[in-house]
Structure 1
Amino acid sequence: MYTRSTHVIIDSRALRSNIKLLKDHLSAHTEIMAMVKANAYGHGIIECSRIAIEEGIKYLGIAFASEGVQLRKAGIDASLLLMTPPEPEELDAIIQFDIETIICDVDTVKKLSEKANEHHKTVNVHLFIDTGMHRDGVYPEEAVAMAQLIITSPGLHLKGLCTHFATADSEDTSFMEEQLHIFEQCLNALLDHGIKPDLFHVGNSAAMIRIPEQIGSLARPGLSMYGYSPIPNSFNEIKPILQLHSAVMSLRRIKKGESVSYGRSFIAEKDTTIATIPIGYGDGLYRGLSGKLHCIIEGTFYPVVGNICMDECMVDIGDADIVIGTRVTFIGKNGEAHQSAEDLATILQTIPYEITTAISARVPRIIV
Structure 2
Amino acid sequence: MSRVKKRVGVDLNLPRIDIDLAKIAHNARQLKKLYGAKGINIIGVTKVIGGNSIIADVLVQNGIEILADSRIANIIKMRRAGIRGQYLLLRTPALSQVQEVVIHAHISLNSELEVLKKLSEYALKNHIIHKVVLMVELGDLREGIMPSEMDAIVKAVLKLKGLALVGIGTNLACFGGISPDADKMNQLSSIAMCLEEKFKITLAMVSGGNSANYKWFTSSKDVGRINSLRLGESIFLGREALCRKPIPGLFTDIFTLLAEVIEAKRKPSQPYGEVYQNANGDTPKFENKGLMDRAVLAIGTQDVIVSGITPKQKITVLGASSDHMLIDNTETSLKVGDTVAFDLNYSALLRTFSTPCITKNMINQYECASIL
TM-score (norm 2): 0.78
CA distance in 2, matches of 1:191, 1:294: 48
Q: Across the two proteins, how many residue pairs are aligned to each other?
A: 335
Residue 206 of structure 1 aligns to which amino acid in structure 2? A
Equivalence map 1:1-368=2 (5 Å): 3-28=12-37, 29-39=39-49, 45-166=52-173, 176-192=181-197, 193-211=199-217, 214=223, 216-226=226-236, 227-232=238-243, 233=245, 235-240=247-252, 241-254=254-267, 265=286, 269-270=290-291, 273-286=293-306, 295-296=311-312, 300-305=313-318, 307-318=319-330, 322-331=334-343, 341=344, 352-359=345-352, 360-361=354-355, 362-368=357-363
**Partner secondary structure for residue 76 of structure 2:** helix
Judging changes above 3 Å, is the alpha-carbon distance between structure 1 residues 303 and 184 closer, same or farther for their aligned structure 2 residues?
Answer: closer
Residue 127 of structure 2 aligns to which amino acid in structure 1? H
CA distance in 1, matches of 2:122, 2:57: 30
**Partner secondary structure for residue 280 of structure 1:** coil
Residue 317 of structure 2 aligns to which amino acid in structure 1? V
CA distance in 2, matches of 1:66, 1:160: 24
Report the Cα offset of residue 75 of structure 1. 2.0
**Partner secondary structure for residue 183 of structure 1:** helix
CA distance in 2, matches of 1:285, 1:181: 36
**Partner secondary structure for residue 251 of structure 1:** strand
Report the Cα offset of residue 295 of structure 1. 3.9
Report the Cα offset of residue 123 of structure 1. 0.7
Q: Is the 8 A contact 1:166 1:176 kept in 2?
A: no
Q: Is the 8 A contact 2:48 2:346 kept in 1?
A: no
Report the Cα offset of residue 358 of structure 1. 2.7
Q: Which residue in the other structure is 1:337 paired with?
A: none
Q: Is the 8 A contact 1:259 1:265 kept in 2?
A: no
Deviations 1:225-253 (A, max 9, x none): 11223244562332221111112223345
Unaligned runs of 5+ in 1: 332-340, 342-351
CA RMSD of aligned residues (A): 3.3
Judging changes above 3 Å, is the alpha-carbon distance between structure 1 residues 222 and 295 closer, same or farther for their aligned structure 2 residues?
Answer: closer
Q: Which residue in the other structure is 1:346 paired with?
A: none
Deviations 1:298-332 (A, max 9, x none): xx412334x4222122334349664432221122x
Share of identical aligned residues, percent? 20
Q: Is the 8 A contact 1:126 1:159 kept in 2?
A: yes
TM-score (norm 1): 0.79
CA distance in 1, matches of 2:209, 2:359: 31
Judging changes above 3 Å, is the alpha-carbon distance between structure 1 residues 267 and 166 closer, same or farther for their aligned structure 2 residues?
Answer: closer
Judging changes above 3 Å, is the alpha-carbon distance between structure 1 residues 317 and 97 closer, same or farther for their aligned structure 2 residues?
Answer: same
